[in-house]
Each structure stands twice: as C-alpha cells, then as structure tokens.
Structure 1
C-alpha cells in the first residue's frame, strides 16, 4: 500500500509538472497561470461557466479568479453574458480570439497525459480509471455524510 506521504508528494508532483508544461502557454500568450487555468476550465467544463463555478471546482480564491477574469476581458479573450433568467448570475464565455490559447492548452494536456501515462497498457489504464472512480465515489459519499 502507498504511504499517504508518498501519495500526496506524487499528486503534488503531477500538478507541478502540469503547471511547468502550462508555462509555455502563459509565456507565448502573455497570461498568468490563473488566467490560463480560467481559460482551460471554461474550455473543458461546459455548463460550469461562472466565476463561482471556477472558485468552487478549481479551488482558487475569489480574488484571484476575479482579477484573472477582468484581465482576460481586457485582453479580449473572455466576455460576460448575463443569465437570461437570473440577472445576478453572470456567465463567462471564451471569445473566438481565445482559440489559439485553447488549442495550445489542448496540446499541453495531450503532452502531459502522454508523459505521465507512458508505458501503461490499455488494461492498466482501464483499471486505473475504475480505481480512481471508486476512490472519488468514496470521497464524495464521505463528504456528503460529513456535510461537505
């Protein structure tokens, strides 16, 4: 069994590697890491398109997300869209000008996955998926039990 310290160190290493790989997107497109995170999140989570969604699901601070959203709007990569039913709710939408950034983020994601999953068989990857899904289900069930 993996020791908890090794597991946490391994997870942090994965995140650190992805962040390092994402840096080239930031450098090429003059973005902060948070701005790239916001773009990536909106690109990959249809229907989760408010600043509150980003804060909750990515675990970023409200202030950091707010600052990144304002900057991305100034850079013409993002726009605000009022909700048709609840005017207090504001949706964030990537503009067509963000396409080169989203394409590069896709390339980084593919490179990252190819790197960290190198050498795994199809069967191992399927087992990995089942393992993590069960772990995530257990986690969500326990969070519900504890009242999130």
Structure 2
C-alpha cells in the first residue's frame, strides 16, 4: 500500500474535518452556533433525502446524544422544525426553517471555497483519478461492511 496505513487515512480524514471547522469558524462566531450545529444545518440542506437524526448519525459517524443536543438547540432557536414522517410515525423528519436560509447560504459558499482550496494545485486529470479512487474505496468499504474479509480481493 506504499506506506498508506489505516492510521494515516484516519489522521488525514480528521485533519480535513479540522480544516473544515476552521473555515466555518467565522460563520459560527457570527451566528453563535457551534460547528456541529452548523454542520447539521448544512447536512440537512445538502442531503434533503437524509433528513432524520439517525441519517445524520449514520452518514456523519456522530453519536446520537451529541446530535440530539444540537438538534434541540436548533429547534429552540427556530432554525429547524420536526415533522412526523407520514407513513412511519416513529420517524421524525428535520426541516430547515426560513430563519436558517442565510446561514445555509453562507455555509454553502464556505463549503465551495473550502472544496476549491482543498484541491488547489491539483490538475483536473488528477482530480478525476482521485474521484475514481474514492469511488472504488467506497465500494470496497461497503463490501467489507457486508462481507468482512470473506471476499478478499486479489488485486492488492
């Protein structure tokens, strides 16, 4: 694996999140919201089909207790509402309110700038290779989640 270890991958992923939260810091300061609360607003805005607390926890790898605290705060501040899912009363959908629009707009602009800065100095061809690699890694992760190492690849 050319020196690429699981530890290095986790470290890099954590550094990306740290840099992302640094980029969000001015918005957090302006709104008085912690980074995770802004993350939740942005997640719901960017993933309208994954709009439950469970979705946020699963897709972002966050603990449910922490997510619940931030959701409660966002509801109390009028930035989110909870709606019961019509066909499944056990599920609660999280919906952005109009009061969240400016935060989401500014957050989206910061996300775009963050993405551009992250890829600065990397050619379009290399970015395309990177996307293909991430796609293959994603497929491998799903395979390992479902099958463990039962279907281990011989391509390594």
Q: TM exceeds 0.5?
A: yes
Distance 1:27 1:2 in 2: 39
Distance 1:77 1:6 in 2: 37
Equivalent residue for 1:136, pick from 113, 135, 138:
138
Distance 1:14 1:59 in 2: 15
Distance 1:42 1:97 in 2: 14
The equivalent residue for 1:82 is: 84
Query: Which stretches in structure 1 are left out of the alignment for 5+ residues?
Result: none
How far off is 1:43 after superposition? Answer: 0.8
Distance 2:35 2:17 in 1: 12
The equivalent residue for 1:35 is: 37
Distance 1:10 1:2 in 2: 14
* Structure 1 residues 18-40: Cα deviation after superposition (integer angstroms, max 9, x where no partner): 11111111111111122111101
How far off is 1:105 after superposition? Answer: 1.0
How far off is 1:12 after superposition? Answer: 2.1
Work out whether 1:56 is the aligned partner of 2:62: no
The equivalent residue for 1:8 is: 10
Distance 2:86 2:115 in 1: 38
TM-score, normalised with respect to structure 2: 0.88
Q: From the superposition, tell whether residues 19 and 2 of structure 1 become closer, same or farther in structure 2 (CA, over 3 Å).
A: farther
RMSD (Å) for aligned C-alpha atoms: 1.5
Query: Which stretches in structure 2 are left out of the alignment for 5+ residues?
Result: 149-156
The equivalent residue for 1:47 is: 49
